[in-house]
Amino acid sequence: VVVDLLGLLAYGDLVAFQRMAADATLAPDLARRALLCEMAGVEIVHFRRVADRLTAVGADVVAAMTPFRSALDDYHEQTEPSSWLEALTKAYVGDSLADDFVREVADALRPADRHLLEDLRRDSPYARFAADEIRAALADDPPSADRLSMWARRVVGEAISQAQRVAAQRLSLVRTLVGGDQLVPAVLTRLTTAHTSRMSTVGLNN
Amino acid sequence: VVVDLLGLLAYGDLVAFQRMAADATLAPDLARRALLCEMAGVEIVHFRRVADRLTAVGADVVAAMTPFRSALDDYHEQTEPSSWLEALTKAYVGDSLADDFVREVADALRPADRHLLEDLRRDSPYARFAADEIRAALADDPPSADRLSMWARRVVGEAISQAQRVAAQRLSLVRTLVGGDQLVPAVLTRLTTAHTSRMSTVGLNN
């Protein structure tokens, strides 16, 4: 089961890396573009750490990632940002949700894996940067909040729909990690509450 | 003048990073895709080291990169690969040429800058990986050598044309680094000779 989770994280880091490198071309200036590229660089370092852990537990990295390819690829294909602010909002909303999910499941893991996950979480500067940029942009142009809120809801909707697809296919992963089917609603409630408060923090509506 | 050179290198590292991250989507399998993403990660670490050096000599990183944006952007726009093998060939031919150029000019710098440049050169695994992939692909499909050789010539032609554009605009850079106008032909001869031998090494025709 830990191989499933690490495989999911490894592929998530890889696509996050490529997505941020691509998003950087939407940056309004060279300073922000370079900053986003450097933040992407953090993701590929995460990938390497998760991949090394997979190798250490005797798993094949590519085989571990493969079950999660289509869900993550579809998510990103369905939520291709068309502007810098859309890219940041997607990162802020989606990556934070993914981080919360990782925190929920980390408790169920052995110390070595739990510490790795906690380490990687703390080391993600993109969400904070994105929040600051979104807040500043909405302060400059308050009417754009409606359009951007709609975009954020679309991103979250797509994330939930792909997460359900993964959960249905890898039921054992979900059961072990959250302690049985009964706990799933409680986890979802916690994730939703945190998401709702993140939206209002930067001035977006649910 | 060292600021010009470091600015050129910093922007070169940044676009190399984004290009390799984008090229990774052309990879034929997940293992190669991950490998290329990790090699891209090396470029953004290089960027940070060059940017830190710029800051250390009192230069603004963005301002130092700006004069080289259009030449490098145009080069990449004109040589957008449409397949994995084209991407590798471009990297092999273009990055090696850039590395040779850096080696030519490194001698003219003060020790701190020279050592940084020599360090960064040694730490570029992409060209070797690309050479192995190209050699293997041409062994599998010898007739494709003609098409790929044509592509390599186009990449080099575009690189030379953009390099001349930069040289014309930043004549002081060229003069100081290669010891005056008179030496430029000798440098070009050395670069060309190295390029020619690289082409035949992997089975491409000049």
Residue B104: the pLDDT is: 77
Q: Do B69 and A40 touch (CB under 8 A)?
A: no
Question: Apex CA A43: angle with CA A41 and CA A44, to 5°?
Answer: 70
* Residue of B17, B54, B60 to mutate, testing the A interface (most A Cβ within 10 Å of its Cβ): B17
Q: How many residues does chain A have?
A: 206
Cα–Cα distance, B117 to B47 (Å, whole number): 12
Q: Looking at CA atoms only, how far is residue B81 from chain A in angstroms? A: 16
The answer to whether the CB of B134 falls within 8 A of the CB of B89 is yes
Quick: pLDDT tens for A45-103. Answer: 999 999 999 999 999 999 999 999 999 999 999 999 999 999 999 988 888 888 887 77
Chains A and B form CB pairs within 8 A to the count of: 71
Read off the pLDDT of each residue in B122-141 and give the average, rounded to a whole number: 84
* Residue indicated by tokens 């082409």: B199
| Residue percentage of chain B with pLDDT more than 90 | 48
Interfacial residues of B (vs A; Cβ cutoff 8 Å): 14, 17-18, 21-22, 24-25, 29-31, 33-34, 37-38, 40-41, 44-45, 47-48, 51, 61-62, 65-66, 69
Chain B residues touching residue A47 (CB < 8 angstroms): 34, 37-38
A33 burial class (0-12, 13-18, 19+ CB within 10 angstroms)? Answer: buried
Using DSSP's 3-state secondary structure scheme, residue A152 falls into helix
Q: Is B83 left (phi over 0), alpha (psi -120 to 50) or beta?
A: beta
Contacts of B196 (CB under 8 A, 6+ apart): B206
Q: What is the ipTM of this complex?
A: 0.83
Tell me the average pLDDT of chain A. 86
Q: What CA–CA distance (Å, rounded) separates A50 from A47?
A: 5
Residue A186: pLDDT band with limits 50, 70, 90? confident
Q: Given the structure tokens 């000779």, which residue do they identify?
A: B193
pLDDT above 90 for B160:
no
Band (B122; pLDDT cuts 50, 70, 90): low
Q: Residue B18: pLDDT band by 50, 70, 90 thresholds? A: very high
From chain A, pick out residues whose CB is under 8 angstroms from the CB of B18: 21-22, 24-25, 37
- Binned at pLDDT 50, 70 and 90, residue B173 comes out as low
Read off φ and ψ for residue B59, nearest 5 degrees.
-95, 155
Chain-chain contact of A33 with B47 (C-beta, under 8 angstroms): no
Q: What is the pLDDT averaged over residues A155-171?
A: 82
pTM of the model: 0.85
| Count of H-run helices and E-run strands, chain B | 11, 0
Each residue's pLDDT tens digit, B57-95: 999 999 999 999 999 999 999 999 999 999 999 988 888
d(CA B95, CA B176): 23
* A147-156 tens-digit pLDDT: 999 999 999 9
Instruction: Please state, in angstroms and rounded to a whole number, the distance separating the CA atoms of residues A78 and B104.
Output: 47
- The pLDDT value given to residue A177: 58
Query: Could you give the C-alpha distances from A206 to A65, A127, A153, A163, in angstroms and in order?
Result: 32, 18, 7, 20
Q: How far apart are CA B181 and CA B11, in angstroms?
A: 25
CB-nearest partner of B37 from A24, A44, A66:
A44
Q: How many helices (H) and strands (E) does chain A have?
A: 11, 0
